[in-house]
Structure 1
């Protein structure tokens, strides 16, 4: 028996309707189940943390890199205040941050010179820490030091790519390789600072974003390899904190302008003709305006650092929203990115986050 076309279309429509209903029913139950599992896990972690309490910091030492300013400076002071012994490493011992730490004049706060791009400097720092922690090991290593370099992929010089990678990625690698034996001895914590840019690629920030993606990959491998030895690894991923850390203050903007001038000097005639001198000038103006949207304080990031070092069950990732308004679109887009088609995501990103303004 042959079906006429109208009857066939009716059967087809009924079939698709039934299929759709089954899918909605199935996935609806799946999402409800996953939601319940997520809630149960959150409640369990909250109960376990409350029951076990925070780790006592007394007698535990932490190395923090990049304490000249920003997160590192704030964290060194905070960890010292709660009871940790802190090795606050600074690139410049004459910096305002280093001087403010030295003024605390505490036996538990040691200001140490460190250049994380130099093997000899890292070795000297490691030996200094080992002398004081040889019996107990090192509880925490916070790889915070970083350099935020703005610029289009094509305009950024190779020297800027290499310098940014050496500080933000290979400095982290260098420190972990040097201090892992002491961390393993204490079954301690490694806390690596990347950025929302380690998850969310943003235009006009090529060198920094590439390095931060690398930091994410390195941290994941480190987590997998070290968990068998009782070492905990966490990643701190700040969003819009460029103004609060000093990346986009007056001195930071001067440094970015100097980088832009270097890009223009090194660019080929073809690239200069294509972009035009007004391109980088407009980017500078955009950054000045965008700096006003950043979070006014670094306190949420400092709280995440402390949780990673003291919580009995720390997170692997701490993605921390930061803005001077109710919404941090960089944080929202980072959370939505895995679930959106690339074309739609790119349009949303271009509309809500047109500037590379994160830590």
Structure 2
């Protein structure tokens, strides 16, 4: 079964309970029409029977829709612009859409990069590479002019906003302001710039927008404040555009991937460079309060998490294809294992349980900041699962004095 099967049945159960409970309250109220009250009194068990029948009807409709999906729209003749195709989701999506017969416009930062050359070699003549830094309005405008000249009177069927960066790891207090600005500049303002520029072409074709976001924009993942804040802004923008563009016939979707190995995530040198830059730029007093070992542990946890990420990008790519070709696309798509379950937990369980769940599935900090260790008077690992011998413990305590 597919990864989202379990969450689907969980959601189905929740819907059934809510509908049943609501109907029970309605039937128990004094606002019903006299004929219904009369019928209920005559039939005795009618209210319960009506509730059961309504629940069964809901189940039948949902199961029918699930087992009889509408046929996908044809892909041939449709033009799609995809940002951030140097590597990762963007590059794989460009290759996949090209194989389906789309006319693909793929933006890259460097036309001479290995990723750009790989796309040129492996794709058809329908694919066009465009050099675009989405944070530069002049680049975006040049791309728009190029796309318009190639499409002629035709509109652009879809825009896939994939380009994004995650330039930080660590507590919000430790994250540099340049990291917050860098994430917002690419993930939010860059995406907004591309979207606004190409909307006239999308409105012309009554097409759609697919934004690749992240669960970090909805969930408080530890040590991802800068990235999560930029994706939260993107998620709200996407929801707003969905309502505003509905009269134009332009449909807007969000794709929320789970953990996949893309970009610099598997590059060990990248993590080390980010770590060294952070240590150099932090104010000495702040570094003293947190401790270099605390910062180093965070870096090691991120590297470990990235090394376990799924290298198979197909779940995300096929989700993007569904969002592009579905006659009635969903507002949100979960791509990859565990995402539906995570959103269910965050939506229906208490906040403290949801937070614990996030800490279990993401970076599992064991060290407390150094200042807190001093206050407690002991060398503290949060889980107290330290196997150091007594001599090592004494040595650490001496260092803290």
What TM-score do the two structures reach when normalised by structure 1? Answer: 0.83
Counterpart in the other structure of 1:116: 134
Q: In 2, Cα distance between the equivalents of 1:219 and 1:247? A: 26
- Contact in 2 for aligned 1:193/1:235 (Cα 8 Å): yes
Counterpart in the other structure of 2:183: 164
Matched, 1:336 2:345: yes
- Contact in 2 for aligned 1:191/1:235 (Cα 8 Å): yes
Question: How far did 1:84 drift?
Answer: 0.2
Counterpart in the other structure of 2:240: 221
Counterpart in the other structure of 2:88: 70
- Structure 1 160/23 Cα, relative in aligned 2: closer, same or farther at 3 Å? closer
Counterpart in the other structure of 1:173: 192
Counterpart in the other structure of 1:294: 309
Q: In 1, Cα distance between the equivalents of 2:282 and 2:206? A: 49
Q: In 2, Cα distance between the equivalents of 1:225 and 1:133? A: 25
Counterpart in the other structure of 1:261: 276
Matched, 1:187 2:187: no
Q: In 2, Cα distance between the equivalents of 1:42 and 1:200? A: 30
Counterpart in the other structure of 2:120: 102
Q: In 1, Cα distance between the equivalents of 2:114 and 2:54? A: 53
Counterpart in the other structure of 2:76: 58
Higher relative contact order (CA closer than 8 Å, sequence separation 6+): 1
Q: In 2, Cα distance between the equivalents of 1:274 and 1:32? A: 62
Q: In 1, Cα distance between the equivalents of 2:200 and 2:63? A: 33
Deviating above 6 A after TM superposition, structure 1's stretches of 4 or more consecutive aligned residues are 22-25, 27-32
Q: In 1, Cα distance between the equivalents of 2:264 and 2:223? A: 15
Q: Which has the larger radius of gyration?
A: 2
Q: Deviations over 1:57-109 (max 9, x none)?
A: 21111000000000000000000000000001001112211010122463200
Q: In 1, Cα distance between the equivalents of 2:291 and 2:306? A: 24
- Contact in 2 for aligned 1:148/1:247 (Cα 8 Å): no
Q: In 1, Cα distance between the equivalents of 2:307 and 2:57? A: 39
Counterpart in the other structure of 1:349: 358
Q: In 2, Cα distance between the equivalents of 1:25 and 1:179? A: 46
Counterpart in the other structure of 2:395: none
- Structure 1 154/130 Cα, relative in aligned 2: closer, same or farther at 3 Å? same
Q: In 1, Cα distance between the equivalents of 2:344 and 2:359? A: 16
What TM-score do the two structures reach when normalised by structure 2? Answer: 0.75
Q: In 1, Cα distance between the equivalents of 2:56 and 2:356? A: 29
Aligned to 2:130, what secondary structure does the other structure show?
strand
- Contact in 2 for aligned 1:65/1:90 (Cα 8 Å): yes
Counterpart in the other structure of 1:16: none
Gaps of 5+ in 1: 1-21, 323-327
Question: How far did 1:143 drift?
Answer: 0.2
Question: How far did 1:355 drift?
Answer: 5.6
Q: In 1, Cα distance between the equivalents of 2:122 and 2:287? A: 50
- Structure 1 239/35 Cα, relative in aligned 2: closer, same or farther at 3 Å? farther
Q: In 1, Cα distance between the equivalents of 2:240 and 2:51? A: 30
